[in-house]
Amino acid sequence: MEFKSLVELCERLEKTTKRNLMIEAVADFLRGLDENEIEPATSMILGRAFPKYDPRTLDVSWATLSNVIRRLSGIDWRDFYSAFRSTGDVGAATKIVFERRSPGRQSTLIERPLTILEVRRMFEHIAESKGQGSRDRKERLIETLLSRASPLEAKYLVKIIIGEMRTGFQEGLMEAAVSRAFSIPLKDVQLASMLTGDVGEVAYLCKKYGRDGILNLGFRVFRPIKPMLAQMATDLREVFEEHGGRTALEYKLDGARIQIHVSNGDVKIYSRRLTDVTRSLPEVVSLIRGEVRAREAILEGEVIAVGEDGKPMPFQHLMRRFKRIHSVDEAVEEIPVELYLFDLLYVDGESLIKTPYVERRRRLGEVAGSIPLTKQMVASSMEEAESFLRAAVSEGHEGLMAKRLDSPYTPGIRGKHWFKIKEVLEPLDLVIVAAEYGYGRRHNWLSDYYLAARDGEKFTVIGKTFKGLTDDEIAEMTERLKKIAIREEGSMVIVQPKIVVEVAYNEIQMSPKYESGMALRFARITRIRDDKSPEEADTIETVRKIYESQFRRKARVNIDL
């Protein structure tokens, strides 16, 4: 099938907000695909070059992509910035400038129509370009691809390359479309998607084998699944009310959540974003290999960096370990880590996700060997819980997790089975959408950051800060932001919404300064959340909820910041 058909579908999706119309359009499209086109097409509609379980990445910088767009369009680059300002979308801006190319240039560039499989193969070649000279090779490959694209195709190729489809068609709707396309119950498709780790593979199995192709699926070791998520509790009283007066409390460690897969001595470790971080944690691999008492298992745990005194180190140090793929032995010495386990999802052919939490915890203790579990207690009173919370915080941890005793494990779902409890005002995970150059010794650094919350398909600014990062971190952040810069406006650089940071603040105030009508007071970055994607950033609804909750203890006063 021609790639043109896929992008015309995406264009229709972008122009409607009616879920049923979107689902039916995608279902009809999927029915018309060949078996080998199903997974690539499904991934691309969701804005991915590859399925989620595939470790390959395109790794294309905005500088590389913009060079290609500039050469192929042949226009003044200021026209691109103007197009971006009018659309707010890099892909849409690319379409506009491609449409403005001269007729002669356009006719010589577009050859035979692109197909879905050709686009996938080109993505594979780009991802496989590694080592010295890889940037130039990637640039040539992208130029070859875009030179054969119509303006509309170029729009969506760019969207897929930068990973920002923004049609409003998300994974849950794709599961519904697969269900409708192949007349298979939605609950079966959702379960299969969870077990395989990718709805594109489920679509392929449904196309090829029908319902029988997904009914007997089980966990597949080395295919990471979405982690179960917790809801923030306003206080301990809410936890006891929701959990029926009795709950399991665990220390919430100030570390990085990992998913561990074990099979016959082989070990792989995945971050909460399901990326493979095995090479960065060799001592954890050795520990798992030597201690876990199971032939096959999928476990969850938390890795924390620890100092010489045994206390947790700041989160940023741990993230340095996760990024390190070279000189790992040095990193092991510089930033030692400890592993604590807290859940068991699968062991020796048996899925435990429907097993109550207390039983999963018991089974985890049986297979963990000498690996410690997160500190836990089952509490029946506020006094017990408050004392346990104080102990967790005094030991340098973030707070507590509260887990309903009979709760199943629900991958990718945030609900009231699990709560997060912190003694301090909950920080927000926000996305940097712009930055300004500083003054004095910071004049060469992008050191003043505009912070935005997720607002549907866009990001809405709720604050600005220059506080929290060290000089070394600011210098590193400057280089990262320059690589994803879209345009400059005086001293301000507008960037792609890619980098998530955890932001502390004193309170949220009313403010006419930002479109949201709210502003963070005394905002400061507490850590860079490279373990989180922009899709995991906090929403504007969460910010409003926190804003409203402040008035339980304060008078309502509007202040212009």
Task: Catalogue the active-site residues.
Answer: 252
DSSP state of 411: T
CB atoms within 10 A of CB 218: 11
| Residue 391: exposure state from Cβ atoms within 10 A (0-12, 13-18, ≥19) | middle
**The two structure tokens encoding residue 103:** 């007729």
CA atoms lying within 13 Å on the CB side of residue 431: 25
Token pair in block for residue 76: 């003044």
State the Cα–Cα distance between residues 416 and 238, nearest whole angstrom: 10
Give the residue carrying structure tokens 């479109």. 515
Q: Do strands 414-422 and 337-347 pair parallel, antiparallel, or not at all (unpaired)?
A: unpaired
Q: Which of 177, 175, 188 is nearest to 27 (CA)?
A: 177
Burial of 370 (0-12, 13-18, 19+ CB in 10 A): exposed
Query: Do the beta carbons of residue 446 and residue 481 sit within 8 Å?
Result: yes
User: Residue 187 CB: number of other CB atoms within 10 A?
Assistant: 10
Buried-state track 395-433, b at ≥16 Cβ within 10 A, e below 16:
ebbbbbbbbbbebebbbeeeebbbbbbbeeebbbbbbbb
**Which candidate, 410, 465, 403, 399, places its Cα nearest to that of 432?**
465
d(CA 216, CA 228): 22
